[in-house]
Chain A
Amino acid sequence: MRGQKELTVTKLNINGKSYELDLPAETPLLWALRDEIGLTGTKFGCGMALCGACTVHVDGQPVRACVTPISAVVNKRVVTIEAIGADKVGKAVQAAWTDLGVPQCGYCQAGQIMSATALLQQKPMPTDADIDSAMAGNICRCGTYGRIRAAIKQAAGEKGAAP
C-alpha cells in the first residue's frame, strides 16, 4: 500500500470504548467514526460544519465531526448517536422524536438529536429563542423543523429530562 509512512497511531475514546487508529492526525473525526470504526450513525452532509448532520458530543459539547481532526479529541470523551440514549436526556429526546413522528427521511436527525440533547443538558427548559439558536446549525431538507421544536419541548417537559 502506498503512502503508509506518514500514518501515526491516535488513541480515541468513543462511547466509552478505546480505539487506536493509524490515520493522519488531521483526519476528521467523522470519517474515522464512519469508515474506520464503523459507527455510521453520524452522518456526512457538507464537510464544512454548515449543516450539522455530523454532530457528536465531545466532553459533553456539541461538535461538528466533519471539521474536527482526530488529533483534537485525544484524551476526550466522544459520544455519538449510537450511545446518546445511555444519557437520560438523550433518551428522552429520542423518545420524543419517535412519539411526534419527527423524522421524514431521517438522515439529518442524528445530528438534530445530538444538538437538541446538548441544548437540554445545558438548558432544561429552553425558550423558543434558545431552540432557534441551538438548532440553527442543523439543516433538515425535508422540513421537519416544526416537529423538532415540538419534540424538544416535549422532551424538556419529560420528568427524566432535567439533569
Chain B
Amino acid sequence: MNAPLIITNVSRRTFLQGASAVSGLVLAVGYASALHATEAPKYGADAMPHGWSDNPLVFVAIGEDGIVSIVCHRSEMGQGVRTGMPMIVADELEADWARVRVVQAPGDEARYGNQDTDGSRSTRHFFMPMRRCGAAARQMLEAAAAARWQVPMGEVRAVNSEIVHSRTGRRLGYGALATVAARMPLPAAIAIRLKEPSQFRYIGTDKLRLVDAPDITVGKAQYGIDTRLPDMVYAVVARPQVFGGRLKSFDDSATLKVPGVLHVARIDPIPGPADFNPLGGVAVIARNSWAAMQGRKALRISWNDGSNASYDSPAYRAMLESAARKPGKVVRNDGNFSVAAAAAAKRINAEYYLPHLAHASMEPPVATARITEGKCEVWGCFQSPQGVRDLIAKRLGISSANVTVHVTLLGGGFGRKSMGDFGVEAALLSRALGGRPVKVLWTREDDLHHDYFHTVSVEHLEAGVDATGHPVAWLHRTVAPSIDSTFIKNATREASYELGMGVINVPFAVPNIRIENPEATAHTRIGWFRSVSNIPHAFAVQSFVAELAAAAGRDPKDFLLELIGPARVVTPQMLSDTFNDGESPERYPVDTGRLRGVVELAAKAAGWGRPQPKGHGLGIAAHYSFVSYVAAVVEVAVDAKGELNIPRVDIAIDCGATIYPDRVRAQMEGACVMGVSAALSGAITFKAGRVQQNNFHHYEVVRMPMAPREIRVHIIPGDYAKPLGGVGEPGVPPILPALCNAIFAATGKRIRQLPVGDQLKI
C-alpha cells in the first residue's frame, strides 16, 4: 500500500503547484474544450470571457487516501458558492462529502473558465459544466475499477466514494482507484451520463453544512485582510478626495517621524476614464496598519481638485429632474404614448429620486502583493481575480503568466470587489519597495469616499389611464449616470445592460409604452452595486403601479396582476431588450406566468388582505431580474411619532430549480435586509466633489433592531432540466418599493425620494 497522500493542511499554492506530483486525477492537463458552443451569437456562459470548463482534470483531484479535492473557481462572498459549486461536482461524482476538500482556484480563466463572480451567474452558468465534470470523473473511476476487475463497465457503479461490482459485491475506494482512473480517457461529451434528479445525493437538499462555517466561527477563516507574509509591511493611501483630482505637492516630514512609519511612496494616477485603475495619491507604509494610518494623518498634501470639484448632490438632483422633464432618447416605443395619453380618461405623473449608495462591505478593499524575480503574487478579496491579474500585468509591464492572484474569502463584495484597483495599488507599492510584501488596507473612510458608487437617478413616470384606472399609456424616463462612464469618456446614457434591468423590459399589458433615457454626466466613479439598475427602476415602476392602484381605488396586488396580464411568454425582442442578462432569448424569455406566480405566492403566504392593527400596512412589489422572478410583501408598523419597524417580510422567488435551498433562503433574507438599508437610510452625497459620509455614523446601514423581525422565504419548485435563474441579486429590487408601498398603506404617505430618512417623523 502506498502511503496516503497528504493534501490537507498545505497551502493551496503548494497543492496546486504540487498537483503534477500527485498521483491522482489531477495528473493530466490540456482537456480539449470540444463541448464549447460554436454557433454565434453566444449567450450565457459561452458569452463570458474564457467561457467555461467542465474538465475533471482541472477541477478534481483524488488522493490515494480517498480525499477528493474539488476546485471552486468562483469567489466566496457570502453566497455559499464554495459549498454549492463543489456540492454539484461531488454529487455527480458520488463523492462522500465527509471526504471532500474544497480548494480555491487562483485567477486563471484559461484553465477554469470565467471567474468574474457577479451578475448572479455562478450557479446558473456552472451547474451543467460542474455536473458534467463530476459525472466524467465518476465514469473514469468506474472505468478504472472495471479494468482492475476485468468486468464490463455495465457491472460497476459508484456509490459514496466507492466503486461497487454489482454481481460480486466487490468494492474499491476512490483512493485506491485514483491513479489508474487518471490514466483513463476522458469520456466524450456524448458519453457523459448525468444522474437523474431523483438520484441526487446533495443537490436540492440542505444536508450539507457550509464548508467555511467552522473556520468562520473560531476566527480561522482567511479573508483578504488576514494575509500575513514574512517581512510584510502595511500601507494606507491618501487619495484625491475629488474624483479626477491630482497631487500637486506633499510634505511627509511629520509623517516620517511617526513611530513605526517606514516609507512614503507616490502612486501615479492614469489619465482618462476611471476604469479599474488606482486613483493615485500618497501611500504611507509602516510596520502596522495603525502606524500607517497615523502617518497618513500627518501628511500635508496639496491637490488639484479638477473639474469634478463642482459635484454637488442637491444641484445634481435638480439637473437630473430637469432632464427627466424633457423628452430624451427613445429606447422603446410601443404604440403611440402621446396620442393614447392625450385621449386617456386621466393622466397621472410621479417622479422618484434615489441617491448614490456605497457597497460598504464589512471587509473593506484590501490586498497584499509581493514581487520576486519579476513575478508578482497577490492575495486579496477579489470578485474578478483574472481581471486583477491582467490589470497588474499591464501596469507592471509583465506577462499575466508572471502574475498569480490568490483569492481569499471576501468579507462581502456586493460588486465593489469586482473592481481590482486595490490589487493594483498593492502591486505598485510592492514594486516601489523592491518587491517587499505589502498589504494595502482601505479604512472605512477610504471605502466610503472612493467607492465605485451605485448610480444616482431620477425616474419620471407618466400614465394615461382609462375609466377603470387601467393604464393605456405608459411613459418612463430614466436618467442616471451610467457605469459606462467609468470606462468610456463622455458616456452619458444608460447602457443596454442598465436599460435591460427593469425599465425597458417591463412586461406589462399596456398597449402604448414609451421609454426614454435623457443624458447624465458622471462626476464620480459609477459601479455595480448588488442588483445594479434594477434598484431604481424597480423602485419607480413598482411604486408607480401602487400609485395607479390607489388612484383607481383598487387593491394593489390585484392591480399589479392585472398590469402583468395573463400568463404568456414575452420575448426580449418584443421589449426592445438587447441585454436579457446576457442570456439566450429563446431559453430565457420573460414568462409572465412565473411573475404572476411569485406575486400570488407572496400574497398568499403573507395573508394579503388580513386585517391590520392601527399603524400597520402591507405593501407588495414584484420584479424580474437576473432571469429570476421575485415578489415581496412587506409589513410595516409606524407609530404616532413616525417611528417605523418591520414586523415581517414574505418574499417569494422563482429561480428555477434550486441546488442549495438554504442558501437561496439566506440570499433572500440578506436581500430583504440590504433592501431595507437602502430604503431607510442609504445615501451617499457629494459636496464640492467630496463624499460627505465618513463612516457608519453617517452612512447608516440596518442593524438588528431595525431589520425585519421575521423574514419568510417561499421558493417556487423548479425543474433541473430547465435553465436556472440568478439568486444573489434578484431579491433586493422589490424590497424598496414593497416597503414604501407598505408605508403608504400604513400612513397614507407616499415616499418618492429615498432614503425614507425622517420623512415619516412627526
A14 contacts partner chain B, Cβ-Cβ < 8 Å:
no
Complex contacts, A24 vs chain B, CB 8 Å? 259-260
- Decide: B704 and A101 in contact? CB cutoff 8 A: no
Q: A28-B290, A34-B289, A143-B673 are in contact. Are A3 and B257 (CB under 8 A)?
A: yes
B576 contacts partner chain A, Cβ-Cβ < 8 Å:
no
B63 contacts partner chain A, Cβ-Cβ < 8 Å:
no
CB under 8 Å from chain B, chain A span 56-77: none
- Decide: A103 and B216 in contact? CB cutoff 8 A: yes
- Select B290's contact among A31, A94, A108, A149, beta carbons within 8 Å: A31
B692 contacts partner chain A, Cβ-Cβ < 8 Å:
no
- Decide: B670 and A94 in contact? CB cutoff 8 A: no
Alpha-carbon separation in the docked complex, A140 to B696 (Å): 12
- Select B219's contact among A28, A50, A110, beta carbons within 8 Å: A110
- Decide: A143 and B219 in contact? CB cutoff 8 A: no
Complex contacts, B289 vs chain A, CB 8 Å? 31, 34-35, 44
Alpha-carbon separation in the docked complex, A51 to B702 (Å): 11
Q: A3-B257, A43-B363, A105-B362 are in contact. Are A142 and B412 (CB under 8 A)?
A: yes
- Decide: A3 and B260 in contact? CB cutoff 8 A: yes
- Decide: A44 and B225 in contact? CB cutoff 8 A: yes
B25 contacts partner chain A, Cβ-Cβ < 8 Å:
no
B360 contacts partner chain A, Cβ-Cβ < 8 Å:
yes
Q: A31-B288, A46-B695 are in contact. Are A149 and B704 (CB under 8 A)?
A: yes
- Decide: B673 and A47 in contact? CB cutoff 8 A: no
Tally of contact residues, B, Cβ under 8 A: 73
- Decide: B362 and A139 in contact? CB cutoff 8 A: yes
B716 to chain A, nearest CB (A): 21
Tally of contact residues, A, Cβ under 8 A: 66
- Select B216's contact among A6, A109, A132, A138, beta carbons within 8 Å: A109
A94 to chain B, nearest CB (A): 4
Digit string of B443-477 for contact with A (CB within 8 Å is 1, else 0)?
Answer: 11000000000000000000000000000000000
- Decide: B262 and A2 in contact? CB cutoff 8 A: yes
- Decide: B670 and A131 in contact? CB cutoff 8 A: no
Alpha-carbon separation in the docked complex, A144 to B360 (Å): 16
A87 contacts partner chain B, Cβ-Cβ < 8 Å:
no
Alpha-carbon separation in the docked complex, A130 to B221 (Å): 29
- Decide: B225 and A105 in contact? CB cutoff 8 A: no
Most chain B C-beta atoms within 10 Å of own C-beta, residue among A7, A81, A104, A106 = A106
Complex contacts, B261 vs chain A, CB 8 Å? 2-3
Is the contact region of chain A dominated by helix, strand, or loop, or is it mixed?
A: loop
Complex contacts, B666 vs chain A, CB 8 Å? 101, 104, 144, 147
Closest to A113 in B: B217
Alpha-carbon separation in the docked complex, A81 to B221 (Å): 11
Digit string of A74-91 for contact with B (CB within 8 Å is 1, else 0)?
Answer: 000000111001000000
Alpha-carbon separation in the docked complex, A139 to B701 (Å): 8
- Decide: A35 and B218 in contact? CB cutoff 8 A: no
Alpha-carbon separation in the docked complex, A58 to B702 (Å): 27
Alpha-carbon separation in the docked complex, A5 to B289 (Å): 19
- Select A146's contact among B441, B669, B703, beta carbons within 8 Å: B669
Segment among B341-349, B706-714, B736-744 that sits at the interface with chain A: B706-714
Alpha-carbon separation in the docked complex, A43 to B256 (Å): 27
- Decide: B672 and A107 in contact? CB cutoff 8 A: no
- Decide: A143 and B441 in contact? CB cutoff 8 A: no
Alpha-carbon separation in the docked complex, A23 to B290 (Å): 10
Most chain A C-beta atoms within 10 Å of own C-beta, residue among B221, B257, B360, B361 = B221
B308 contacts partner chain A, Cβ-Cβ < 8 Å:
no
CB under 8 Å from chain A, chain B span 670-717: 670-674, 677, 695-697, 701-705, 707-711
Complex contacts, B219 vs chain A, CB 8 Å? 39-42, 80-82, 110
- Select B256's contact among A3, A4, A48, beta carbons within 8 Å: A3
B409 contacts partner chain A, Cβ-Cβ < 8 Å:
yes
Alpha-carbon separation in the docked complex, A31 to B290 (Å): 6
Alpha-carbon separation in the docked complex, A32 to B705 (Å): 32
Most chain B C-beta atoms within 10 Å of own C-beta, residue among A31, A132, A145 = A145
Complex contacts, A45 vs chain B, CB 8 Å? 362-364, 444
CB under 8 Å from chain A, chain B span 193-252: 209-210, 212-214, 216-223, 225-226, 228, 234
Can you list 24 A-B contacts with CB-CB less than 8 angstroms, sorted by A residue number? A23-B259, A27-B291, A40-B222, A50-B696, A80-B219, A82-B218, A82-B220, A104-B78, A104-B667, A104-B670, A105-B410, A107-B361, A107-B363, A107-B411, A107-B412, A108-B411, A136-B703, A138-B704, A140-B673, A141-B674, A141-B701, A142-B673, A144-B669, A148-B704
The 7 A-B residue pairs with the shortest CB-CB distance, nearest first, are A41-B219, A143-B673, A107-B411, A104-B78, A105-B78, A81-B219, A106-B216
